[in-house]
Amino acid sequence: MEFLAEYGIFLAKAVTIVIAIIIVIGSIVALGGKNKKSIEGHIEITNISEDLADIKEGMLEEVLSEDEYKTLQKNKKKTEKADKKAKAKKLKADKKIKKSSSDKEIKTEIDSDKNIEMSDADIETESSAKAENSKTEISEETEQESHRVFVINFDGDVEASAVENLREEITAIISIADPKDEVVVCLESPGGMVHSYGLAASQLTRIKAANLKLVIVVDQVAASGGYMMACVGDEILAAPFAILGSIGVVAELPNFHRLLKHNKVDYEQHTAGEFKRTITMFSENTEAGRKKFKQELEETHDLFKSFIAENRPSLDIDKVATGEHWYGTQALDLGLIDGITTSDDYIVKASENNQVFEISYQIKKPFSERFSFSVQSTIEKAFLSVWKKNIESRLFK
């Protein structure tokens, strides 16, 4: 017993020394980090199409016999070669058509110089016809071409803090995207602060302003401010049991006035302006203040409804703006969404004929922040481990 007691004291001292060293190192690193400029983030691009192709290839190699796999590879090479030849042939034909069109235009100009008697109306008609034919050719060519699909992930909290990354990702996409390209936002958010989600929704409107198709896909939840973002999309898709809607405004505030009064504690608040403060946590709230606060909530709700009605004019806004939420299949019936699917299904399908890229903005955190986070995570894991063991011991006794 004496040995165990001495060992316990030694262990306690050792743990104390280690913790002290960690605190000192953490403090030094933190102080050093304050003098350094914040490290800029960077855009990371993942080719989802290639990743999916690699997965498929790996699966086929495993499940097929050696002969079957070799045959498949041979057929694949033949198909690729044929596609490459067809594209080259099409490109050559397009060049000939363009050259022929150019020669015709030159000839027309010469003829127009010779035929001075041609009226201005005839010239205008001929030019319009050529322009229309040219547009038709370009349109057909565009339809045949595959387009790029850019995928963004938005995981929203109460403050919509992910908007900082979102704005960088959207800027990067807009800088290179063509009108035929598409942006898919995998959105997850239960909502939060009005002004924060208003900014997040405004970021999504930048995509539409750049004439890019915007598709919103919700796997779990897009409620309140989350739905405010979703409604900006040209198309909203959701999983069958995803939660959508909650088009309402809520505010909750505890009041400790009676507790302070009971303990004979005075609290003073001085304002300039009748409604600088409507209801507070520590002062005695008045009926006039409550009425004004309720009015402000209604005004915010009206703005919320107007924004959704503007982006989804076919939606019966009075029917759905009750603060209620619905699951995916119900939301489809109400017109809150346009289809039922998951983000995985949509992206896999898009990868069949198009190049799909995931765009994410990453910020490399300084060592001091990563170190403190690591220590915090270790403590949390240790606490959770003890808590779980305690619960399990109670359950299985």
Annotated catalytic, 276?
A: yes
Annotated catalytic, 36?
A: no
- Cβ atoms of 289 and 277 within 8 Å: the answer is yes
Distance, in Å, from the CA atom of 103 to the CA atom of 109, rounded to the nearest integer, reads 10
- Cβ atoms of 184 and 217 within 8 Å: the answer is yes
Burial class (CB in 10 A: 0-12, 13-18, 19+), 4: exposed
> 196, 224, 343, 368: which one is catalytic?
224
CA torsion, ordered 314, 316, 317, 320, to nearest 10 deg: -130
- Cβ atoms of 235 and 216 within 8 Å: the answer is yes
> 276, 314, 393, 397: which one is catalytic?
276
Q: Which residues are catalytic?
A: 224, 276
